[in-house]
Structure 1
């Protein structure tokens, strides 16, 4: 158990009026204990509370899972034929409200509620989310390395672009390149879009073949020692038209306007506004169809979005994307995305790959 991280979560729980919680998100359990397994339909949970001001933890594990010895103060194991609910009931304080996270499945949550696992049950995911959102020095260095790998992978992607190649063939080759660079896996399914396909922000690579003059969009990320990267770049494949140049330059200026503003105390909503204003002033406002970004770490998308409705301040140690885009159906799609870490004295952009308009030799 990482007592420092557990203490942060418990402090966040206290702010919610809670002294106990059940965590079931496998990545959050790893974050707190160093133990990871994917439970699929089986029960996996970490119970957190405090005794004498010291974090106290109990991990509930199926015996089918990898050995969890030492991962928590107490490890309770059970078989497939056992009901884990009574085991959890034996650990919780029934006279106090019980926090649960958003991943606790109804098939476990409802029996726990019916059995009175706590005086009441309250959603408390934010207690872990807030702790995970502030990356410590070690986490920040892992995020940097994941992005360094992603920069190198983007150069590989650009080299694959040639007339006649398919989106799918490039996407399918990326995992091998990531692994050759030291990453373990994708952090999400890669997006490879040619031409008008890029007007769909979440286009799935298909058999579309590149034609000379198509713009090419790559939105990709890898995992390095469990931490995620995420970056988008858009390229030309022939001398660009005036329209293509205008759209690209608008998105680039929007990205850089938001990034220049990142510093402790600035509201997430102000970052979104800075980018959105550039795009609106250029006449493309209705084609910027999503929030500006999202937080990232152990998951590619973590709670705390960079949007017009998020009025909390950014804090040192937070890491999030800045990814404005313009998507004109049937015509063009451009997105430029970087990851930023907030520092005490401003910010650090994790991606070194250029924003300058680049024409590939296709």
Structure 2
């Protein structure tokens, strides 16, 4: 990104998995940073972090931290965002929040730039970054909805442990080694750190991401359902989700079933639409076993789609396989991308 004007940037939650990716992405994109402030909890304050060859010292995040900040990237948990985002806005900063704190707030735009960039201009100081599993799905669905109409979505996810943070990734490593050594596996984090029970993730599959709601769905599943409708401006869209954590480190995969409005749609037509979509890469050739995987998409900013096929019983039904790096497009890159669009369109 080349830009003459420079901006004062704060990253809140700089030591976390997403915070670290935010810094990497700002550097990779040559984001126009004037001053950089790395903010964290009191226990991480004083730690050092590198950015563009310069060592920065982390500071405890306080309301006063946001004086003279132009853009604040938040990824330190919903409670921190609820407490400090309004303080940042009060001091003139634009907040791009990567937690669930403001996603369903009617006054806060929930943005995936490839889908609803125009919503950015309606911000009142806060822009919400959607859930990682939602982002990649709506990026793949947008060309379908635009050109063919969309009335139903059923998704099953296969999500990486990094979505639960660095500690969950460490737990997977420890459990895997224990299992291979014939030792008992210790589980203290997954499926949810603060929940009653914990299960090993190594060599396992956990059909729970986030806490259960009264309707039997998890909070993660409800996030996908509600966020999809908001981002796509489709309150009547039928969406259902089952979210599962699997024992790999990076990138979420999703099996997505859709029903379109237009009659007579072919697989080739669907492939063409998805292949031309902004930020989406088609990897789909069964004859050469070409399809995206979590490993092949890790470290990349795009959303990858393959295994596109027609449902055998439902005339307007299609199946897709959608994969993307949950820490990049699912979090850090989408946040930085929003910031880039804000600057380019002069919506700051």
TM-score range, shorter chain: 0.3 to 0.5
Greater relative contact order: 1 or 2 (C-alpha under 8 angstroms, separation 6 or more)? 2
**Under a length normalisation based on structure 2, what TM-score does the superposition of the two structures give?**
0.33
